């Protein structure tokens, strides 16, 4: 019998990666460029000769179907992304007063207690480069969302930063989406199961 802390500690200390898993992870770190090699190999395998025209036709037909599907998908997703970007640009332009002024995300999240989600600490707004100033409620696509105000310390620029539930049928179509709306630069991405957005006078990079 042990107390809970000792028992948990002992249990987790027994858990470790297998030799193979460790080897794979070390290899992944040491040879990150191997992804290109794998990709080349795949392309090589897909090359065809004159004898397998049927394969070529099947692939060509699949390509057409995939392209059309992708086109339709893009039309829908672009529409959804633009709607969100327009709404964020509108919220940004209103320059509404903060409901809570704090540099602590937990305090801001706790104040905005009616949100149906917990604010996430995004890896893109690292404390070394961004200072949180506070936040308030806003609306994204008809649902309660958080509008935070943050300052980029590298150039002293102020941005509004949004966290919201991902709207139904919303697809980002990539790792990030960025656009200009009436002089405001908007970036959207998904992280921690939420839709995040950043609005400011220009790109943050």
- Cβ proximity to other proteins, 1 vs 97, nearer residue: 1
- Distance from C-alpha of 198 to C-alpha of 153, rounded to nearest angstrom: 15
47 contacts other proteins (rule: CB under 8 A): no
88 contacts other proteins (rule: CB under 8 A): no
- Distance from C-alpha of 138 to C-alpha of 143, rounded to nearest angstrom: 8
103 contacts other proteins (rule: CB under 8 A): no
Backbone φ and ψ for 184, nearest 5 degrees, come out as -110, 130
The residue from 88, 186, 194, 198 that contacts other proteins (CB under 8 A) is 194
Q: Build a one-symbol-per-residue string for 152-171: x at contacts with other proteins by CB under 8 A, - elsewhere.
A: -------------x------
Backbone φ and ψ for 178, nearest 5 degrees, come out as -130, 145
- Site stretch for other proteins (CB under 8 A), options 24-32, 44-52, 64-72, 75-83: 24-32
- Site stretch for other proteins (CB under 8 A), options 21-29, 36-44, 70-78, 134-142: 21-29
Buried-state track 162-197, b at ≥16 Cβ within 10 A, e below 16? bbbbbbeebebeeeebebebeebbbbbbeeeebbbb
- Distance from C-alpha of 172 to C-alpha of 76, rounded to nearest angstrom: 10
150 contacts other proteins (rule: CB under 8 A): no
Instruction: List all residues 6 or more positions away from 143 whose beta carbon is below 8 Å from its beta carbon.
Output: 116, 164, 165, 167
The residue from 107, 167, 172, 178 that contacts other proteins (CB under 8 A) is 107
In the complex, the residues that contact other proteins under the rule CB under 8 A are 1-5, 7-13, 15-17, 21-22, 24-26, 28-29, 32, 35, 105-107, 109-111, 113, 115-123, 126, 165, 190-194
């Amino acid at each position: 019998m042990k107390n809970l802390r000792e028992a948990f500690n002992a249990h987790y200390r027994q858990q470790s990666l297998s030799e193979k898993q460790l080897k794979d992870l070390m290899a992944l770190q040491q040879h990150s460029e191997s992804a290109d090699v794998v990709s080349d190999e795949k392309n090589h395998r897909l090359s065809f000769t004159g004898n397998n025209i049927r394969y070529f036709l099947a692939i060509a037909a699949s390509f057409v179907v995939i392209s059309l599907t992708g086109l339709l998908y893009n039309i829908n997703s672009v529409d959804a992304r633009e709607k969100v970007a327009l709404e964020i640009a509108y919220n940004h332009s209103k320059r509404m007063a903060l409901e809570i002024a704090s540099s602590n995300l937990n305090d801001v999240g706790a104040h905005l207690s009616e949100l149906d989600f917990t604010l996430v600490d995004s890896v893109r707004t690292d404390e070394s480069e961004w200072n949180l100033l506070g936040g308030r409620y806003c609306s994204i696509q008809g649902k309660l969302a958080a509008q935070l105000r943050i300052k980029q310390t590298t150039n002293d620029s102020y941005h509004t930063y949004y966290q919201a539930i991902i709207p139904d049928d919303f697809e980002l179509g990539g790792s990030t989406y960025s656009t200009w709306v009436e002089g405001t630069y908007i970036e959207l991405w998904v992280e921690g199961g939420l839709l995040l957005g950043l609005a400011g006078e220009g790109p943050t990079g």
